[in-house]
Amino acid sequence: CMKAIMEIFDEVWTSGSYPGEHNVPEPTHIRTTAEAIGSRNSGPLFRPAEEEWRFEYQQLNPKSGDSEARYEAYKHATSYTEVLSLGVAHMMSTSVNCSAKNAKSKLHSDIKYDIAHGHLRVYDPRLTPGIVAEVSDGADEGGICYPEWLKAKLVLLPKKGDLGLPKNWRGICLLDIASKLLSCVLVERLKEVMEENGPENHCGFRPDRGTIDGTFNLIMALRKRQEHNLETYVSF
């Protein structure tokens, strides 16, 4: 998912037709670009910070595979595009591990990196008595689910072609990050419980366990019932 968003952002940003361009804040300072002028042999001596940053970003070459440099560029890009920041920067800061499965990717999947650089904040619930009281009172009433966890934010991402056509826009739904983190924690804890207390024949979704024996036994049982003209039912 992150690779697709990166490609869309590359195309929109380099073309200069990104949404929300009217929301770009005016630069408050100007810096020299002697090195950039020496490499391009053209252009003014001074340029706004936004234009200078755009030149630096284009020099990164999005197809070079330098994911770490691109990640830094995307973080800076959120200062100039309020619309894309909802779909790119928000997901980049919370779902970095989506691209960590790629062996060639240099994106950081370590949670310590995100905490150290301020992309993720961890609060101690013991410092907020209101949260502790709510958890204690509602834990035995079927669990806790905040209304925000059931809502999704729809964000439009541009595709190729004329952006005036509705078909050239793709909508994605961003879910609350807290619910995703809680789901990951619950899944990891359930794995330990299943490994210790689960039945031996329940091999699905367990590490280093296969379902070949169980599948073979099921096929043999179905064949026996078919030989005796018996009906077979499956109950969920």
Q: Give the residue-averaged pLDDT of 169-176.
A: 86
| pTM value > 0.95 | no
Pairwise pLDDT comparison (78 vs 8), residue with the higher score: 8
- Rounded CA-CA distance 19/85 in Å is 11
What would the pLDDT profile of 39-52 be if each residue is shown by its tens digit? 343 433 333 444 44
Backbone φ and ψ of 196, nearest 5°? -90, -40
- Angle CA 189–191–193, to nearest 5: 75
pLDDT band, residue 63 (cuts 50/70/90):
very low
Q: Give the residue-averaged pLDDT of 157-170.
A: 89
Lowest mean pLDDT among 53-67, 110-124, 145-159, 173-187: 53-67
Pairwise pLDDT comparison (146 vs 234), residue with the higher score: 234
Q: Where are the domains of the chain?
A: 1-110
Q: Give the residue-averaged pLDDT of 184-212.
A: 73
What would the pLDDT profile of 76-108 be if each residue is shown by its tens digit? 444 333 323 333 333 333 333 343 344 333 444
Residue spans of alpha helices (H) in the chain: 2-15, 34-40, 49-58, 67-77, 82-84, 90-94, 111-116, 129-138, 177-197, 212-227
- Angle CA 157–179–105, to nearest 5: 55
Residue 196 backbone zone (phi > 0: left; psi -120 to 50: alpha; other: beta): alpha
Instruction: Quote the pLDDT of residue 4.
Output: 55
- Rounded CA-CA distance 66/130 in Å is 44
Lowest mean pLDDT among 54-58, 72-76, 90-94, 173-177: 90-94
Q: Give the residue-averaged pLDDT of 1-28.
A: 46
Instruction: Quote the pLDDT of residue 25.
Output: 39
Mean pLDDT of the chain: 60
Residue 110, pLDDT > 70, answer no
Pairwise pLDDT comparison (54 vs 210), residue with the higher score: 210
- Rounded CA-CA distance 68/102 in Å is 13
Alpha-carbon distances of 102 from 62, 145, 181, rounded to whole Å: 16, 33, 21
